[in-house]
Structure 1
């Protein structure tokens, strides 16, 4: 059984004329430790797919399973707990809280289920060191560069060691040199994990560093060659 299984996934939105089809018959498998790049033109449904994988949006049809479990069969409370425990997000915008320090932002996901434990705090410290920002731990987002803010966001996404790490254009707002740094960081951290990384990106450089490339074409996924 693959850690991530997507079968016949569809998503459409009602309109006065006819339904707007965004995704249709999407199928995907990803095993533990694997990374997948999702490519496709703007408006092809990449971000919608990522939102469904992250349980932020519901599919119109089909099934998503993470470690054999369909999260959309859970109650609203159980789904929120599932998302907090098993899914991490890195967005194009870092979405750090401006009033908190870099380290406090990293620890935020730990508070979703109660006070941060000593082990959780230690993991946050380790991740902040791993992304090279120990000396910036007390700085607030406004005092950090764009690349530094994105590195904090990556540490935050990994602090609960999620089974599924989802990244939506994580280098989209960065210059070439900083994008390369963030790419190296994502690839390096994924190599140390037992979970799945799915990255939506327009960057061929980032996509080429991942294990697999798939492309959204006509609402469905196809394997993409390098």
Structure 2
């Protein structure tokens, strides 16, 4: 059975006239080790889809199963714990904490379990080396370039080795050279993992490097 199963997923928002339908019966299956690029014009619902898959927003109807778990059947506390352990996020903006070092930023997702251990610090440092920031562990975000900050954000998203990694326009704010470098890091690490990667992107070059591509059109996800 696939590790991600989305069935008849819909999302709409009330308006004075009639509901605004953003997603309309989305169907999707993905297994460990697979990657999917979601493309489509701005406003087509790509970010909304990722927010629901990441249990940051609830669907109007339909179902989502991640590793056999329906996150929307969980209590608020259980859902937060599930999201922290099973889902990683990379956004267009890196959202690094400016007062913390790069290493501390990568360790931040582990603090919900209490104090990070020395093993956690070793894993975070290794991830930073993998993304080319081995010499930047004690730097703060303001001392990094845009591409370096985004690579640090990727390391942070992977520190728990999540089952599902969601990337929303991860190269959208970068120039071509930095966008290529971030894509290289994201895809090379993903190829070694047993997790799943879904990326919303406007970049045809990035989408072409993913395992599969689907387009959001009129609320539906078309292969």
Place the TM-score, normalised by the shorter chain, in its bin. Answer: over 0.9
Distance 2:27 2:128 in 1: 35
Alpha-carbon displacement from aligned partner over 1:136-174 (angstroms, at most 9, x marks no partner): 111111110000000000000000000000000000010
> Matched residues in 2 for 1:180 and 1:166: separation?
18
Is 1:183 aligned with 2:183?
Answer: yes
Query: Take 1:88 and 1:103, find their aligned partners in 2: how far apart are those partners?
Result: 17
Deviations 1:70-127 (A, max 9, x none): 0000000000000000000000000000000111001000112211123222210110
Equivalences for residues 72-151 of structure 1 within 5 A: 72-151=72-151
TM-score (norm 1): 0.98
- Map of 1:48-67 to 2, 5 A cutoff? 48-67=48-67
Structure 2: how far apart are the matches of 1:28 and 1:118? 39
Residues in 1 aligned to 2:132 and 2:181: alpha-carbon distance in whole angstroms: 11
CA distance in 1 between counterparts of 2:139 and 2:200 reads 29
Structure 1: distance between partners of 2:106 and 2:14: 38
Q: Paired residue for 1:207?
A: 207
Q: What are the Cα deviations for residues 19-66 of structure 1, in whole angstroms up to 9, with x where unaligned? A: 110000000011110000000000000000000000000000000000
Task: Report the Cα distance in structure 2 between the residues aligned to 1:6 and 1:196, rounded to whole angstroms.
Answer: 14
Per mean C-alpha deviation after superposition, the further-off stretch among 111-120 and 36-45 is 111-120
TM-score by length of 2: 0.99
Q: What are structure 2's unaligned runs of at least 5 residues?
A: none
Residue equivalent to 2:153:
153
Please give the alpha-carbon distance, in whole angstroms, between the structure 1 residues aligned to 2:78 and 2:160: 17
Aligned residues: 223
CA distance in 2, matches of 1:40, 1:32: 24
Residue equivalent to 1:24: 24
- Whole-Å separation in 1 of the counterparts to 2:30 and 2:145: 33
